[in-house]
Homo-oligomer: A and B are copies of this chain.
Amino acid sequence: MNAERIPDIIIGRLPVYLRALQRLSDKGVQTTSSQELGEIVGISAAQIRKDISQFGEFGKQGTGYSIAFLIERLKNILKVDRVWDVVIVGMGDIGHALARYNGFANRGFNIRMVFDNDPHKVGDKVGSFEVLDTKVMAEKIKQNKIKIAMLTVPATVAQEVAEQLVKAGVKAILNYAPISLNVPSGVRVQHIDPATHLQRMTYYLD
A residues at B contact (CB < 8 Å): 11-12, 14-16, 18-20, 23, 39-42, 77-80, 84, 86, 92-94, 96-98, 100-101, 103-104, 107-109, 147-148, 150, 155, 171-172, 174, 178-180, 182, 188, 190, 192-205
Contact = CB atoms under 8 A, between A and B. Distances in A.
Nearest to A197: B190
Contacts of A19: 178-180, 193, 195-196
Copies in the complex: 2
Contact of A172 (B80, B86, B188, B198): B198
A101 B108 contact: no
A202 B41 contact: no
A203 B78 contact: yes
A155 to B, nearest CB: 8
Contact of A171 (B78, B103, B148, B205): B205
A201 B171 CA distance: 9
A65 B145 CA distance: 44
Contacts of A202: 78-80, 84, 108, 148, 172
A150 B155 CA distance: 22
Task: Give 8 nearest A-B pairs by CB, closest first.
Answer: A93-B97, A15-B199, A172-B201, A107-B195, A190-B197, A188-B201, A15-B196, A79-B202
